[in-house]
Structures are given as structure tokens and as C-alpha cells.
Structure 1
């Protein structure tokens, strides 16, 4: 396989441990007992391209048997998900900061100067280029012929997916001090849900950008600008008629999509991310704890404390497991039904800052900060 090499369990275990804590190195939790999960490492690439900054949203995506990847140096690639062989590769003239995102037959990426590019998914050829008002730090989204792009200055743009022409603009003033991390909008049908740096959640109409409702997840409070930071930096999620969002130094909340009415709210802080699956909503908190909340009322289904102190990625559901990367280069596998830590797989000596990518074929792809892509399969 071009650019790929198989790795045995022995070689995997020999990867040097990373000490990425801001203080003393953290003790590494180890799964134990007969419930431990075996994870097979299928393949690992040589670095495909550096991701450069955790603020850049350059997570890989999967569609129709292909993996799409972009890096901070302007490379965009399509790989076969079956054998990881390259299908096409393009290099854009500008360093990229967000994408790729699948938009019908287009692939959307954006750069740190506010340029948005649409490539043909089949060939990688450029179809159009558009400009927004500032750098793009969140993955674009696509729904019903509209590409939704959020720029770092607080604006949200609706672009025609076929031509790149601006259809609408939503604008809000951002606070004086915010995290250098923007959440990507959530889309479903004709709805776009945007998490703002002010702690507010806004639902827009994808057809014209008009506001349907607004809801305050966390009201900024405190004497200093630092204390008043309440960013929705983790991507909101839409599932089964509800929107879920969490704030930094604040809370997680569920809101009815039709009306914007609060369903439930719990005090917990996160700028990493959440996921919804079945009857539960999963959250990677800022302190490294992982929570499962009942989707209907917010009651705690379980909480996993063994990863406390680690900086985790957004959680991803892969089969019967919740999968999260961390800053020490590990992939952590929690059992969905009870949150038990059943496997920790070290894939790199570099941090994993983007969420793992789970495919319908049962393979989980992990991209570290250096651009090394690893394929894992749980047994």
C-alpha cells in the first residue's frame, strides 16, 4: 500500500509515551479484567500533512467509500477507505484552516484568510472560490443546497453550493475575550443551529438566514473578562427533534428544535465536544471526565472518571463503544452501556486533537497533530 505500513501489536506497544500534561505527567489508566477490548491496528500512514494548530478544524471525513483529508499546508486528498490507496491529491495556494466537508458532489475547504474553496469530489478539480469576512476555524456544513460557513469574527454565511454565491449573512458581535476555537454549525433539514461565543444558541433558517429562535445556555458572569468567558466552542448537535450544546465554564443544555424551549440543563464545562446516540448524550468535559446523560431529562446514566486530567477529543460512537483521542496520543474506548474503559490504544507520540472517524465498515481512523493517519478495528 502506497505510503502505508502494517503495524503489529508489539510495534504499537513500543511507541514512546507522551507527557503532554501542563503540570506533572499523568498516570496512564489501563483497562483490566476479562472485559478488556482487543483493538487491531490495521495500518498507519507516514504523515500526510501537518495540522499545525488545535484551533484549525481539519478533521477527516468519510463518504461513499472514500476518506477526504486536508492539512495546514494546503493539501487536499481523497483516499480509498478499503485499502487507503490515494485516488487524487490537490494542493491549494493558501494554507488551510477548516474542512474538508462534503456538500453533494463538492468538497469544501477554507483557509485562514477567509477564502472558501469547492472541489469536485470525484477528481479534486476546483469548481469555485468565494470569500468571507475573516479566517475560518470551523468545518463548513451543508444542507439543502447551501454551504454554511462560520468565520472567526462572528459571522455566518450561507453560500450556494453550486456557484459559491452568497445567499445570506448572519452577524453577531463577539465578546472582547473568547477561546481561539469556533464551533461548527449543526444542520438538519432547513435548520442551522449556531453556538455563539456569548453562550447563546441560535437557530437559523437555511433558506434565508432568518432567526427562528435564540436560547441562552450560559449567561456570562464574573468581574473579569476571563471569568465571563462562556463560549460554545464545542459543536452543537441536532438529534431527534432536539439541539444539544455545552459552554465553557457553564452548562450543557437540551433545547426543543421546533420552539427553542429548554428541555433540561446540567452544570458542566466543556469546549471539546459531545455526541448523541440512542437514548443518551455523551460529553467529554474539560476536566477529562466523560459523562452520559439521559437524552429525555438530563439524568446521569454514567460517568467515567479514569481519564480525569487528560485533554480529550470530541467523543465518537463506533459500534458498541464511545471513542475519544487524547493529548498523549492514545485512543480510549468506553463501553456505551456503562462507560467502562475497556481499551487504550496508543497510536502516536504526538497529541490526537481531532475526533476519531468511525466508518460503516467498522474501522476507526485517527489523525494525530503531525498528520499521521491510523486505522483501527475493535474485535
Structure 2
């Protein structure tokens, strides 16, 4: 049987946790049923009751048989994504990709060749849902997993060789180690194992550390975590009473992230309504907190200003000064630069280009579309917060981060579409549905180079909720190719493939609900 641990779906950032407990609990359940029959009904009484109420006894027997068959089916279909965490490497294709990279080295900007005519290089099963967007740096790829449990979620952060997919290290909080930034031993804490990862990892400015939030929407008491990038050693953790689905943003020695509210069934916060958190990267010292309703949007930092969306019960975009409390007090400045009402919750990451801030949201979430779905994309003046334009003909919620390239904004919607909007006025240039009845919860990745305006020779990549990776022409939205990235033997039933692809040195990396983390390569056109 399938148990939904989260019943309420009040806001856009809600990700209810499902757990397939049929596989693990069915033997115990059957044992309990049989024990009850043995203790409460002795054989003689069973015969009497069978004569008195033959239908009831037959129904119990049939139920046990059905549950047994169903449990076996669940066990078989769950094994593919949970048993083996060893990378599945296509060595001939990897060799071809390395030869191609040598013959056509990456450009100075690091973009490399555009991945065209996808060739799958390797797959890392991961042992759980990969909801995070990968981080690629210095020949390595980092990602996180989320696995359901009765008490919330558990998760693992992993590091792989970018070209082979071989695991270099993984951390789940179970290994005893002294956290250098806090002096605490993670394994000695009562809840030392990491919560599931929805937040995507970020790299410190010097490349030494990987920083990530933990927890899904029903989790509480989650921490912001900092790991040594080379070894996976936990450098520090900053605990909160909330969860951190927001992905960190780094500027110098400061990392900023949003801590989201735990909502009741009526959508109101059960306690702390949320706050933005700033921490010193080098030693884990908390620098400041600023109260903001459900900031599960991922922040962007530009010129000392943090731009972040406010979700359920907030419906706003805020601009915050990044300096310490002492520095702001000395300058006589408030932390809040501006905050503007957006009508809908803003849960996607905020984008910045020149004098504009672009944000998107709507009234749906990662699991359901609202009864009357609505989505919105807005552009603000970076200095004042004045709304330059708003586009409300999106059709449904925008959950993935909008991307600015040239004179366009590329975004996705829960309606299953990829859209291109004009940067100057928000007019829809084109919209393309990738697959029927298949929402898009992820954002987009762009590859190519801008040669003036409009965009020349750019392509967009995204993933549908059921696990289809698509490549589109960014000029007109034509679908150029698609690939299924969930596990073929266990295609998934949650429809929670929401990892935004990333492009690094001509390779594409992307996670999925049941297919782990995959790497693709391509060649120049």
C-alpha cells in the first residue's frame, strides 16, 4: 500500500513525501494478521465462524493473498532504484567523448561544445530521488538524494568524477567526524543523519567548500551544511527549526539561503513563518537573519544586494542588503531595500540582468495544479523595485528558475510548456508544450553564445515531471530531441523529476526521480 505522509498541499513549495511501505512492512503486517488469527481464533472456533459467516473469513483470506501479491510486485519494481549505487558507465562512449573534448577543446568561457544528438555517457543510480540540480566544478559533479521515511526524509550528498561517474565520496551524516566550524560531532547528535536534499549545492568562492540546505517540505529542524569539496568532510552546520529547500547563493565569504515555513493544514505557518539566513562560509558563523514569509525561492546576489522571493503567505519579492547588522547600523541603513507584492507566491529562483530583476511564480505547487491555475512572470527595477512589466498569460505556475539570455527570458510552466518572453516588455515570443499531460517542474539550461541580439545558435534543455529530457531551439521553441531519464524498469509514480539540467564543458548532467544522476555529451554542430 502507498501511504501519503503529507496530506495538506497549501502552497507552491509543498512537496509531500510518499513512501512505499508495502515493501518493508508487508511481512510484518502479514505476521500480525496471522498472529491475531492464531491467538484470537483457535482452529475450532475458526471452523465455527466459517460456518456462521463464511464470507468474512473468505474476505480475510483474499485480502491476505492480494496484499502478498501486491507487496511482491512493489518489491520487484522498487529494487531497480534502491539496491545498487554503483555507477553504470558506458566506457566506449566515455572514450569517444574524451577524444572529442581533446580535438575540440572548450572555449575560454568554459561552455564547450553544445550537447547535440545526446549520447549517454554514464548513470549513477544514487539510491534515492535526485531532486537537486547538479553542481559541476573542477572535474567533479555534486548532487543530493532524498528518500522517504516515517519521520520525514533522509538524504545523501555525493561527489562523482565528471567524466566517468565514479563515486569519489558520499556523506549521509552517519560517520563520526568533528565539524571544524562548530566543534560538534555530527554523529553524536540525536538526529545526525542528514535530511533529504531538495536544495541544490553551491560552491564557495574559493572552490574549497560545497554548501547545501537540507529537508523537504514536511521536515523540520534542518541545517545549512558545508562540506569540504575534496573529501566530503563536514566543515560546519548551522541548525534551524525549519527546512531549507532554497538553494544557497554565495558572494565572497558570505552564503545566503531561505528557510521555509512549516505549514498547517490550513496553509498558515505552524511556528516560525520563515527567514533569510546569512552565514560566513569560512567558519560557519551566523551573520544575520531577516524575517520573511516562506522564502523557499533561491536567492540571487548582485552588487551587495540579495534578491529573493517570498512564498506562501508572503507573495512578494524582496531586496535585502547583505552587510552585517553592525555595518548597517553604523551606516544608518535598514536591511530591507524594497519589497513588492506579486499577488502569487514566488518560489522559483530570482534572475538578475543589468537593471532588471526577474521573478516568477503562481498558485500551484510541485504536486498539484490549482483548481484555476495561474502563473506569472514579473520584471522589477533593481534599484527601486518598481514593476516594469508583468506577464500573467503563462497558464500555470512557474516553478523552475527563469533564465535571461540576450533579449529573451526562457522559463517553464506547470502546464508542461517552455516559453520565451521578450526581456523589454514581457511579450510572449513563443511557447511550446513538450509532452501532453506532463507538467514541467524544472527550470531550463541554455547552451550557446550570444552574437548580438536576438539569440543566435542557442539551445534550451529541460525535464518533464515524468522524466523526459528535451532539447529545444531557443530561437523558436522547436523540439529537437527527447530522452527518457528515469529508470526503465522503475519509471516512477510520483512524477517528481524536477532537477534542472546543467551544462559544463560540453557535457549535460541531470537528475531524476528514479534514474539517479545521468551524464550526456554531444558534439559541435
1:250–1:340 distance in 2 versus 1, CA, 3 Å: closer
1:303–1:111 distance in 2 versus 1, CA, 3 Å: closer
Please state how far the C-alpha of 1:80 moved relative to its aligned partner: 2.0
> 2: CA distance between counterparts of 1:183 and 1:371?
26
> 1: CA distance between counterparts of 2:275 and 2:357?
20
Please state how far the C-alpha of 1:171 moved relative to its aligned partner: 0.4
Please state how far the C-alpha of 1:127 moved relative to its aligned partner: 1.5
Residue segments in structure 1 that go unaligned for 5+ positions in a row: 10-36, 175-180, 219-229
Residue of structure 1 in register with 2:119 after alignment: 40
Residue of structure 2 in register with 1:15 after alignment: none
> 1: CA distance between counterparts of 2:161 and 2:91?
19
Q: In the alignment, is residue 64 of structure 1 matched against residue 138 of structure 2?
A: yes
Please state how far the C-alpha of 1:306 moved relative to its aligned partner: 4.8
2:144–2:157 Cα contact (<8 Å) kept: yes
Residue of structure 2 in register with 1:367 after alignment: 511
1:371–1:207 distance in 2 versus 1, CA, 3 Å: farther
Cα deviation digits, residues 198-236 of structure 1 (max 9, x gap): 221001111137111112222xxxxxxxxxxx2112111
Structure holding more helix per residue: 2
Q: Pick from 262, 277, 288 the counterpart of residue 157 of structure 1.
A: 277
Cα deviation digits, residues 136-183 of structure 1 (max 9, x gap): 122222113111121112211111111212111110345xxxxxx932
2:417–2:439 Cα contact (<8 Å) kept: no
> 2: CA distance between counterparts of 1:245 and 1:138?
15
Partner SS state of residue 135, structure 1: coil
Residue of structure 2 in register with 1:324 after alignment: 462
Please state how far the C-alpha of 1:64 moved relative to its aligned partner: 2.3
Please state how far the C-alpha of 1:7 moved relative to its aligned partner: 9.2
Q: Pick from 232, 238, 258 the counterpart of residue 130 of structure 1.
A: 238
> 2: CA distance between counterparts of 1:355 and 1:331?
10
Partner SS state of residue 96, structure 1: coil
Residue of structure 2 in register with 1:20 after alignment: none
1:88–1:124 Cα contact (<8 Å) kept: yes
> 1: CA distance between counterparts of 2:341 and 2:252?
27
How many residues are matched? 328
Residue of structure 2 in register with 1:226 after alignment: none
Q: Pick from 121, 128, 132 the counterpart of residue 50 of structure 1.
A: 128
Q: Aligned-residue CA RMSD in angstroms?
A: 2.3
Residue of structure 2 in register with 1:271 after alignment: 398
Residue segments in structure 2 that go unaligned for 5+ positions in a row: 1-85, 94-115, 147-153, 174-192, 216-220, 262-273, 326-334, 363-373, 449-457
Deviates further, 266-275 or 117-126: 266-275
> 2: CA distance between counterparts of 1:371 and 1:206?
38
> 1: CA distance between counterparts of 2:434 and 2:120?
23
2:260–2:293 Cα contact (<8 Å) kept: no
> 1: CA distance between counterparts of 2:91 and 2:437?
29
2:467–2:484 Cα contact (<8 Å) kept: yes
TM alignment of 1:140-289, pairs within 5 A: 140-153=248-261, 154-173=274-293, 182-197=296-311, 198-208=314-324, 210-218=335-343, 230-248=344-362, 249-267=374-392, 268=394, 269-273=396-400, 274-289=402-417
1:143–1:206 Cα contact (<8 Å) kept: no
> 2: CA distance between counterparts of 1:371 and 1:96?
17
For normalisation by structure 1, the TM-score amounts to 0.80
Cα deviation digits, residues 90-141 of structure 1 (max 9, x gap): 2312223334221232111233322122111122212112112311122222
Question: Higher Cα Rg: structure 1 or 2?
Answer: 2
Residue of structure 2 in register with 1:295 after alignment: 423
Structure holding more strand per residue: 1
2:87–2:122 Cα contact (<8 Å) kept: no
